[in-house]
A = this chain, B = another copy of it.
Amino acid sequence: MYLSNSENGRVYNFSAGPATLPLPVLKQIEQELISLPGVGSSILEISHRGKAFISILEETQEHLRQLLSIPTNYKILFLQGGGRLQFSMIPMNFLKGRSEEAEYLVTGTWGKLAAEQAKMQGPVNILYNGKDHNYSQLPDLASLSPNPNASYLHYTSNETIQGIQFSDDLQFGDIPMICDASSDILHRSLDIQKYGLIYACAQKNIGPAGVTLVIVREDLLDKVPNDLPCYLDYRNHAEHNSMYNTSPTFPIYVVNLVCRWLQKTFGDLESVHKFSQQKAALLYEQIDTCKGFYTGHARTSDRSLMNVVFRLPNEELTTLFLQQAADQNLTNLAGHRSVGGIRASIYNAMPLAGVQELAKFMANFYKKNS
């Protein structure tokens, strides 16, 4: 069990991203930072086209293929530009110039931003807009009727800011499903065959800022238009195995170490999922126990295992909560500026002890201030 990463004056960092990394991963980076074993140069100094890096790249892909059971007809790419660039690349590659609309589920801030960028490239239908519920609820899937010929359907598996999450893979007939899994990839196993494309910026659950994982079904690449800027055409990255231009070598190296750590510590994603459920339950239990004092943002059935978002009765108590938590080395708990309140991000690398400390703190804070 992954319990604690507290040492060297380190805090429990509940940042939504860039987010905490496993301490064993940081230690390995530290250990080989000056010179990669057998290479004589730092990972920061080696060519993306050299043997040492290619071996790291391929190992990372192999880890991901194993952990997520990714079939061989899916490419695993590592790009730059974060989720934002994907918001535009997806419709440029799969919507631009087509007559059939793309369907978007807007369940929170990130889904909304993705849809806005898509509208600049082609016809978009907002199949569900959670705005009326202040993005606290997921859609009733049975009530949705997407165009069966849609170019694709885009959704956000976990809305980091609002803390709502789909607990299963979505599927609507043969529509290619495109999923922004930036904040929950690798927290549970997925049925990859249900997806056309999955993307995830690394800085939440799988690594540092600066690399975005894209898993794409090869046949989708057949219809990409031929007039895209070179960096924005997925085919270039697929054909050159993510070495079309200089790969973000260091972030990929860290993703590899994170994958290794996941396999060593948990074995598989079923165990990771249980671990996530266990951690989230500790915090939601406090919210439910201290009802009226702590108010969760998400509808109970739609609660996220990754980002636990809640409010206190007023601004004064919120400020006091954040101050006193920080005094106990529980940091970066302020909610996103658009939502306010508290947000505890508890991705894979957040140890159980950190969540236990926070739950204890929440219970004590309630006792003293309710």
A interface with B by C-beta (< 8 Å): 8-11, 13, 15-21, 23, 26-27, 29-30, 33-35, 40-42, 44-48, 50, 80-85, 87-88, 92, 117, 120-121, 201, 203, 208-211, 227, 229-232, 244-251, 254, 329, 331-332
Contact = CB atoms under 8 A, between A and B. Distances in A.
A44 B82 contact: no
Contact of A21 (B19, B20, B45, B80): B45
A34 B40 contact: no
Given A35-B9, A209-B246, A246-B209, A232 B44 contact: no
Given A208-B249, A229-B120, A21 B44 contact: yes
Which of the listed residues A17, A83, A201, A229 has the most CB atoms from chain B within 10 Å of its own CB?
A229
Contact of A84 (B34, B208, B244): B244
A77 to B, nearest CB: 14
A13 B40 contact: yes
Contact of A246 (B18, B20, B40, B247): B18
Nearest to A85: B231
Nearest to A11: B40
B47 A18 contact: yes
A342 to B, nearest CB: 15
B46 A230 contact: no
Given A81-B85, A88-B230, A40 B9 contact: yes
